[in-house]
Structure 1
Amino acid sequence: MLEPIRNNWRILLLVVVVVGASVALFAPQFGPETAPGENQSEVSQGITNLQYGLDLEGGTRVRAPLEGYTATGVDFGGDDPVTVEQAVADELDGVQLRDVGSSVGEDVRAVEVTDPSVSEEEFRAAMDASGYSYESIRPGVTAETRDLTQSIIEGKINEAGLSGGSVQQVQSLGGEYFILVEVPGENRSDVVSLLQERGTVQIDIAYPSGNGTAVEEGVLTQDDFENIGTASQRDRGTGSYVPVNVRNTASGGQQSPAATFQQAVVDRGFPSAYQSEADRCQYNPETGEIENSNPCLLLTVDGEVVNSFGMDPELADSMASGSWADTPNFRLTTPEFSTAQEISVNLRAGALPAELDISGEGTSSTISAAQGENYKNYSLVTGILAVFAVAGMVFLRYREPAVALPMIVTALAEVYALLGFAALVSYPIELAVIAGFIAVVGTGVDDLVIIADEVMSEGEVNSRKVFNSRFRRAFWVIGAAAATTIVAMSPLMVLSLGDLSGFAIFTILGVLIGVLITRPAYGDILRRLLTIR
């Protein structure tokens, strides 16, 4: 029993791969995840677990750069990033500190401005006037700002329950970076509105009331903040913070937001509760209860409490005396730097750290559901025609079913394995991916033809030894061709060129599956069919 297994293990491996692909394609546990508020039937993609991208499902694609300019190779001259940002902001008329950022790494020091009203010449003049030397100024923002933008948009898509939505950074051949957002099943206006939507951040007060805890909501809202600083790490200890200034100007006969907040803090007993550094807020976010008698400030983002904190004794004293409202500034503290970044962004006039330039032509496109369904049908017809065309040419070439039929079956098994992989990792099937499948069929059959020609080139194969010798010669040619294909496709995969990445990924994966699994299995099949002994 071991002898047949040892001689045909490559065929068995191909069978295992096909069975695994079948499980990934049809097993319910590998189906697409349901978004909040949806059930499985609402996101079903048919009888398979394949998920379709924008091209085949319909929806909206937005591909736009982030507005701003970045000075690279900046010499900070020993100053800390905040000082540099402030110096540059002071040289730009009408630009607030929150619109100037910096990036500091081992080999990179950069300063960016994200105010869309600032031109390159104005930014260059501000950098020169601030006294910090730099190497060059380029359009666009820093990698940190792009990463933060991508993270925020992904969060918005998830919170909106948009199944299948994706966000990625893509780079043009000219080196310009774009944010690519794809949301199946949504029209352009809804997607643009989502991108420009503002996150809700407010300050609430939780305080003891009777035997429980009461919450006074919205003692400070986004409109009450006059200036929002950039997220920063604490100099000592852990955690991060966002420095903020509250408006102290009254309107409509009402108290200023600073005076209103100050009075609410006094009324809820903060000055008497926080008289030393040992006093702590003990708010439990899971139960929504205060576990001691001290009131707490609650920082909420989109209705969720992200942090709770007490108050510095000096700050509490200044509020008790009424002097704080004259210079109303304090820090919103968070345990994580990423949360501080999100809060800083959501407190601004826009929800993103830099604006997406979606005003130009070609930055967005919409595919209707009917059009996507047509693309899906056309893709299926094209794939079937490609298979029949390849099968017809193979039969015309060899006119021998024992050679041609296994060749077609093996090539189809290769595509089937790729479909199983796409279902397993929930990779959306798009036109570029289908083009990769067709390319895999073409290159795969080419390799199988090389094997068949080499094996049959010198007449009848009368022994396994002769077959193996000829097969090894063919496999060297196939291996070299595979290596060439992988090298040629690798730049398309790593350069973040949008749809071309999917084409390259599945072409390379198909080549690897072919070289490692399907070509050796086809060789074993031919050996069994053609050898005499």
Structure 2
Amino acid sequence: MSARETFSKWWRIAVLVLLVSVALYALFIPGGMFGSADDGPVGDANETETDDSLHNLVFGLDLDGGARISAPATGMTVDDVTLDHGGTPEQAQQAGSDLESTLRESFQSEYDDFQAADVTVRYHQGDDSYTVEVFNDNVSAAAFAETLSAEGHDVSESDVENRVTEETRSSMVSVITSKLNQAGLSGGQAYTTETLGGEHYIVAEAPGYTAEELRALLEQRGSIEVRAYVPDGNGSQENITLLQQEDFDNIEPAEYDNERNQHQVGVTLHDGPAAEFESQMNDIGFTTEGVEQCSIRQNADGNYDFSDSGDQWCLLTMSDGEVVSALGLDRGLATSMQSGEWKNNPRYNMVTGSGEGNEEAAQHAREISMNLQAGALDAPLDFGNAQVMSVQSSLGDQYKTDSVLIGLVAVFAVSGMVYVRYRDPRVALPMILTALSEVVILLGVAAAAEMAITLAHVAGFIAVVGTGVDDLVIIADEVMDEGAVSQARIFDNRFRKAFWTIGAAAATTIIAMSPLAVSSSLGDLQGFAIITILGVLIGVFVTRPAYGSILRKLLTSEE
């Protein structure tokens, strides 16, 4: 037999063996397909321990225990705002940025708790219009409309809608997902859902977390600012915003510096903001008379006391509007800024406190590092209308055990029925092994993709076993029609006929499941549909053809 003929007879089985081998590697080799055994999450105290597991599967909320919070975003929106600009996309974007800055200053002068991230202006190039969003509970619809009207826009209170845009929700999902990853939550995920009434909810799932811990994580919008608290020249102090979230480039993990006895986060600025920051520090006198001239300290409650008399020159690190650090400017940093050299290497340490045992300062440093890397939530979540679900880890372990038992029962039940039907090990045994290989490949895909397996996925695996064996039965029945088949040519004709039936059934299943697979609003049903579709595709292109090749070799006498 030539090499070409050998390949044509065995390549389908070879592909099946190769995929099963790769799946086993992804499932059981430490680090899986794309990681390494010592990879670990960037640290939070609550990071999930997974390194001692015998496999690389990631379990979702149902099987690992944890919490799920579903809540709408808080915000107001005005659409179809028009602005005069030069006509180019760059000029249009700049006009939107200018309006955003103007509105921010106006709102901040009226509301003490108004943060820089509480207003967003988005440009829509298609219809040359802008959408303005405000994310602050203290701003009423009337005040929103009045502020826009004061800037020359014809806006009434009725034009203000109590919602946020799809772009905002998408950005929030991305930020929450990043926060969950930064916190070391294996299997954590975020997505959006829509109710029948058209209300949109943002859903966050965190295996291994309690509902209280997850809420604490989501309540942090993660808006980081650096402000200058300096004399205003009239005997009072003023706050000047120097740096915002988007100005930071490289963010280092939180650390404790033994030499300086301080908790800190090393940061680097983008080139443009770095030059502007250096210029502002020189212009307001921070690098000359303001060097090391900050005596603001925390009181017994842990809050910073700004009642001290005398001129203060403090750099304030703000997290969600709260002062987490108030420090003077280091003399070495001031000298570098005065000379204009600092902007060429714009790195400095955001210090949150001193003392190795200062857990509050350590926690602030971890939160700043996480929030700068993950980004800030565009809008706060409305926890007053939240839906909360919590699963204890012990219950999740029970679900895992039950899922394994159900899977074994399904396998033995199918095996028994197949053997009773055919009474021929040459037909029944390859059928069971082929069906099980399909599940192994699916589990390997889940491990490689770090898919968080839930009860819905388990239901999908069981459905794949059932539908897979159905297809294999169709093949066996067709090729053994009218008794045993000994000629390869007859076998091939019968197999092609069976395969057309299987292909049509597979196409019907994929079409039926596709709406569920692409609709994230259906939650767990999406996972069921995805596993079912993947199982059908693997069956049609890999396992069914391989089973046919095995039967051809076992049942026919031709080489």
TM-score by length of 2: 0.68
Structure 1 residue matching 2:122: 3-state secondary structure: strand
Deviations 1:360-382 (A, max 9, x none): 352x2111111001111111111
- Does 1:53 find its partner at 2:60? yes
Q: What are structure 1's unaligned runs of at least 5 residues?
A: 206-217, 285-295, 304-338
- Whole-Å separation in 2 of the counterparts to 1:181 and 1:100: 24
The percent of aligned pairs where both chains have the same amino acid is 40
Asked if residue 164 in structure 1 is aligned to residue 186 in structure 2, the reply is yes
Partner of 1:102: 121
Find 1:35's aligned residue among 38, 41, 48: 41
| 2:525 alignment partner, one of 490, 500, 520 | 500
The Cα of 1:83 is off from its aligned counterpart by 4.3
- For residues 439 and 367 of structure 1, the distance between their equivalents in structure 2, rounded to whole angstroms, comes to 25
Is the aligned partner of 1:254 residue 2:277? no
Amino acid at match of 1:164: S
Determine if contact 1:462/1:532 at 8 Å carries over to the other structure.
yes
Please report how far the alpha carbon of residue 398 of structure 1 lies from its aligned counterpart in structure 2 after TM superposition.
3.4
Q: Which residue does 2:211 correspond to in 1?
A: 188
Measured after TM superposition, the shift of residue 517 of structure 1 is 0.7
Q: Which of 369, 380, 383 matches 2:393? A: 369
Greater Cα shift, 493-502 or 170-179: 170-179
Moved more, 419-428 or 52-61: 419-428
Alignment partners' CA distance in 1, 2:22 and 2:331: 65
1:115 is matched with which residue? 136
Deviations 1:436-490 (A, max 9, x none): 1112112212221222222233443241111111111221222222222223323
Amino acid at match of 1:47: L
CA shift, 1:526, in A, is 1.6
Question: Is 1:19 paired with 2:21?
Answer: yes
Aligned match of 1:358: 383
Give yes or no for contact 2:221–2:379 (8 Å, CA) kept in 1.
Answer: no
**Counterpart of 2:481?**
457
Instruction: Determine if contact 2:60/2:454 at 8 Å carries over to the other structure.
Output: yes
Residue deviations 1:214-264, cap 9 Å, x none? xxxx999xx98576897789xxx9635899999xxx952434655899996
Whether the aligned pair in 2 keeps the contact of 1:471 and 1:523 (CA below 8 Å) is: yes
Q: 1:444 to 1:88 in 2, by over 3 A?
A: same
Contact 1:11 1:524 in 2 (8 A): yes
User: Are 1:60 and 1:186, in contact at CA under 8 Å, matched by a contact in 2?
Assistant: yes
Q: AA paired with 1:16?
A: L
Aligned: 1:525 with 2:550: yes
* AA matched with 2:414: V
**Residue 82 (1) aligns with residue 137 (2):** no
Q: How has the CA–CA distance of structure 1 residues 381 and 165 changed in structure 2, closer, same or farther, with 3 Å as cutoff?
A: closer
> Cα RMSD (Å) of the superposition?
4.7
Cα distance per residue 1:319-350 (max 9 Å; x no partner): xxxxxxxxxxxxxxxxxxxx9x966998xxxx
2:175 corresponds to 1:141: no
User: 1 CA distance for matches of 2:373 and 2:472?
Assistant: 58
Q: Distance in 2 between matches of 1:469 and 1:260?
A: 81
Q: Is the deviation greater in 65-74 or in 21-30?
A: 65-74
The corresponding residue for 2:463 is: 439
Give the secondary structure class of the aligned counterpart of 2:307: coil
- CA–CA distance in 2 between the matches of 1:403 and 1:280? 78
The Cα shift of 1:523 comes to 0.7
Match of 2:443 among 419, 426, 431: 419
CA distance in structure 2 between the aligned counterparts of 1:397 and 1:48, rounded to whole angstroms:
36
2:504 is matched by which residue type in structure 1? A
CA distance in 1, matches of 2:411, 2:30: 29
SS in 1 for 2:453: coil
Matched residues in 2 for 1:382 and 1:44: separation?
Answer: 27
1:45-103 per-residue CA deviation (whole Å, 9 max, x = no partner) reads 64222222221111112222221133344433447113444676759974847322122
Q: Provide the C-alpha distance between the structure 1 equivalents of 2:473 and 2:120, rounded to a whole number of angstroms.
A: 58
Measured in 2, the distance between the counterparts of 1:415 and 1:480 equals: 22
Q: 1:77 to 1:452 in 2, by over 3 A?
A: farther
Does residue 1:510 correspond to 2:540, yes or no? no
Counterpart AA for 1:437 = F
Q: Which amino acid in 2 is paired with 1:8?
A: W
- Secondary structure of the residue aligned to 1:359 is helix
The aligned amino acid for 2:526 is S
Q: Is 1:390–2:445 an aligned residue pair? A: no
Residues 466 and 264 of structure 1, relative CA distance in 2, 3 Å threshold: closer
Question: Deviation of residue 110 (structure 1)?
Answer: 2.1
Counterpart position of 1:407: 431
1:478 aligns with 2:502: yes
| Cα 1:88–1:514 shift into 2, 3 Å | same
**1:344–1:272 CA distance, 2 compared to 1 (3 A):** closer
Instruction: Give, in whole Å, the separation in 2 of the partners of 1:138 and 1:196.
Output: 23
Q: Distance in 1 between matches of 2:373 and 2:64?
A: 36
AA at the equivalent of 2:412: F
Letter in 2 for 1:493: A
Structure 1 345/439 Cα, relative in aligned 2: closer, same or farther at 3 Å?
closer
CA distance in 2, matches of 1:62, 1:195: 9
Structure 1 counterpart of 2:425, which letter? P
When residues 72 and 483 of structure 1 are mapped into structure 2, their CA distance, relative to the original with a 3 A threshold, is: farther
Q: Is the 8 A contact 1:54 1:430 kept in 2?
A: yes
User: Normalization by structure 1: what TM-score?
Assistant: 0.71
State the AA in 1 paired with 2:550: I
* Superposed CA offset, 1:199-218 (max 9, x none): 5957699xxxxxxxxxxxx9
Aligned to 1:491, which of 498, 510, 515?
515
Number of aligned pairs? 460
Equivalent AA in structure 2 for residue 408 of structure 1: I
CA distance in 2, matches of 1:461, 1:124: 81
